[in-house]
Structure 1
Amino acid sequence: MAKDPIIIAHRGASGERPEHTIASYALAIEQGADFIEPDLVLTKDGVLVARHENEISETTDVADKPQFADRKATKMIDGQKMTGWFTEDFTLAELKTLRAKERLPLLRKANTTYDGQFEIPTFEEIIRLTKAKEKETGRRIGIYPETKHPSYFASIGLPHEAPLLAMLEKHGYVEKDDPLFIQSFEVDNLKALRGKTKLRLIQLMSKDDGPADDPSVRYVEMATREGLQAIAAYADGIGVEKAMVIPRTILGNLDGPTQLVADAHAAGLDVHVWTFRRENYFLPLAQKSGINPAAHGDLVAEIKAFLDAGIDGFFSDNVAEAVEAAR
């Protein structure tokens, strides 16, 4: 088990509040998260805001706003056709008229009681919340932003790097030991950031895909010993899907761990794992509490298996259970 593995609140306390809202981040901090994780997209006027995707119909009430009906569009994002409403077609002032809603209402019915209460937060508002909570709690609280679809945003004249680094520098995040990680599923923007900042960078990977900015490469190739050595030239760690560390058997139980953690550590890389959620729908068979997909199972046991595999940190929607498992 890694010494003091970090707990990263995935989109805030998203198991208990609509994701990527100030309320979600604040609750995560109060429950003991070491880091909060905002996914960052850009507005038409170049402001970084927190949404899981730039398409926002699943997480806001935009579809209910007749004044924005003509903004509905179909676009190709990272090779996938998407239809809906996109942040890059709205100014910040327009986005601020929308309200967040629960993304997984069938699994998280209780969260729907908060629908319509919260704005879309800017990255700066999230930083200011973090700073205020640091003063309130007397402890260091980290931020773990993800650049979402960076090559797509760059292609439409809204690159992440300059506004992201400017905002971080404005608030004092410049050194490697500052409580800040920048993560991305793409490669080129991390390499570009490496030449501009000392802040720690994390290469995200999933078991079945590859980086959108280089379709010739698969993440499984990047997760080999040689691939990890290449990642270590521009990043400080990897953020990997759970199955890349402990796959599941054909019956859906946890299998034995792979070599990935040991190989990454040998390359000098930290290993952070995503995403731990307490609903039966997401849990291994032995940790389920029954057949109701929305019921809560034994998330603590699942997390402990991964901690025993030596991971350095993990993302969870459920901070209270994460704290119980890690502490």
Structure 2
Amino acid sequence: MPSIPFRLHPAASAALLLALGLSACGTVPGQRSGLPTLDGQLPLVIAHRGASGYLPEETLEAYTRAIELGADVIEMDIVVTKDRQLITRHDPNLAISTDVAKHPEFASRKKTIQVDGETQTGWFSDDFTLAEIKTLGAISTDVERPQQFNGQFKVPTLQEVIDLAKAQSAKTGRTIAIYPETKNPSYFAALGLPMEDQLIALITKAGWNSKSAPIFVQSFEPSSLKYMKSKGLQTKLVQLIDGDGVDLRTGQITFAVPSDRPYDWTIMGDKRNFDVMVTPEGLAEIKTYADGIGPWKRYIISTKGTIGADGKPVDVNGDGKVNDADATSQPATRLVADAHKAGLFVHPFTFRNESRRLAADYQKNPAAEYTAFYKTGVDGVFTDFTDTALAARKALAQ
């Protein structure tokens, strides 16, 4: 593996990270944090797609680096190949995170289709065998992140990630959990490539089909979670809760396809949006089939911008764009407290270091954002930058 130009952070001490699977939230049993988490213990640091702030996401190299940085959990999205293999990609559309466009042998497979109501053009995993996908290289999905590793690392299967987590647990002496998501499950089911039964089989084969096992299974689609539960999956289950954006005039979450509602709801004609899930009634419904929620972080701490005379948000920092860096974080909502009251843990997504993604009052310091969320009592955070999340957690614990 090529040398990687960043420093490992020493924040991942063994005292914080041992015995991951032994409590509801996975932190050290008996180590009280002083934070209002569901069990009073320190929040998990969940490596979102691996060390995706530094390396091409959802590769064995990215997951290994996240573990080296000290992640408690590595997170991955699951899509399906033509020959029914489960691989780790965030999108069925391989154009987003691989170099498939540079492979002339696959040029004829480029197409435009609908994925969960969104029109996409590219190459799709269900048109490729695993052997063909193994010829592709993973690429960075953010132009602000390192590009020198593009094309060097391959797309792994879920089984390969399970094997990695077990090997690294044995090597490091601390349990590394995994956090797979059934990605676009209705899309794949409609193609005759449902993923849930195969996922259950892999989990069972790993010896992880229990609440205490080092695994969380997540989905945006309630029917996917409910189906797996009905088929005997006993792991911790997590309902993801999305949104499209924030109206910087009001701080309210906005909704648009494909982030307006679970796509299985769209298929069933249910017109409600994701926000019904964060009400006490919605949380009570989730508790009937899941153990926790993974909400977009703006449901917990939103942002508001400065509004000009024309009624539009102002580009405060003058960089030609209006984004989080031009907004101010708002007081926390009751979501964490309400979820805990319902008996659900809370793992918000996604925390990133880039200044354009940080509210102005954090002063370009990502640790300030983590600290604000940790203080609300969240039980874990999905992060692209494991080392930053751990440093903020260590500082707060001390």
> Does the 8 Å CA contact 2:178/2:215 hold for their aligned counterparts?
yes
Q: How does 1:181-220 map to 2 (within 5 A)?
A: 181-195=216-230, 196-207=232-243, 208=255, 209-215=260-266, 216-220=271-275
Partners in 2 of 1:56 and 1:281 — Cα distance?
Answer: 26
Partners in 2 of 1:71 and 1:138 — Cα distance?
Answer: 45
CA RMSD of aligned residues (A): 0.9
| 2:74 corresponds to 1:74 | no
Q: How does 1:116-195 map to 2 (within 5 A)?
A: 116-195=151-230
Partners in 2 of 1:160 and 1:321 — Cα distance?
Answer: 34
| 2:356 corresponds to 1:281 | yes
1:325 aligned residue: 392
| 2:69 corresponds to 1:31 | yes
The alpha-carbon deviation at position 9 of structure 1 amounts to 0.2
1:268 aligned residue: 343
1:292 aligned residue: none
> Does the 8 Å CA contact 1:72/1:84 hold for their aligned counterparts?
yes
Which of 96, 112, 115 aligns to 2:134? It is 96
Partners in 2 of 1:217 and 1:8 — Cα distance?
Answer: 29
> Does the 8 Å CA contact 2:43/2:381 hold for their aligned counterparts?
yes
Give the number of equivalent residue pairs.
316
Partners in 2 of 1:38 and 1:81 — Cα distance?
Answer: 24
Residue ranges of structure 2 left out of the alignment (5+ in a row): 1-34, 244-254, 307-326
> Does the 8 Å CA contact 2:197/2:228 hold for their aligned counterparts?
no
Residue ranges of structure 1 left out of the alignment (5+ in a row): 289-296
- Give TM-score, length-normalised by structure 1: 0.95
The alpha-carbon deviation at position 81 of structure 1 amounts to 1.0
Which of 57, 61, 78 aligns to 1:40? It is 78
> Does the 8 Å CA contact 1:211/1:217 hold for their aligned counterparts?
no
- Give TM-score, length-normalised by structure 2: 0.78
Q: Please list every run of at least 4 consecutive aligned residues from structure 1 whose deviation after the TM superposition is greater than 2 angstroms.
A: none
2:101 aligned residue: 63
For the pair shown, the structure with the greater C-alpha radius of gyration is 2
Letter of the 1:213 partner, please give it: D
1:222 aligned residue: 277
| 2:371 corresponds to 1:299 | no
Letter of the 2:238 partner, please give it: I
Partners in 2 of 1:19 and 1:249 — Cα distance?
Answer: 30
> Does the 8 Å CA contact 2:185/2:195 hold for their aligned counterparts?
yes
| 2:334 corresponds to 1:259 | yes
Partners in 2 of 1:168 and 1:198 — Cα distance?
Answer: 10
> Does the 8 Å CA contact 1:38/1:146 hold for their aligned counterparts?
yes
> Does the 8 Å CA contact 1:75/1:82 hold for their aligned counterparts?
yes
Partners in 1 of 2:335 and 2:362 — Cα distance?
Answer: 23
Corresponding residue SS for 2:121 = strand
| 2:295 corresponds to 1:240 | yes
The alpha-carbon deviation at position 177 of structure 1 amounts to 0.8
Partners in 2 of 1:149 and 1:142 — Cα distance?
Answer: 23
Corresponding residue SS for 2:264 = coil
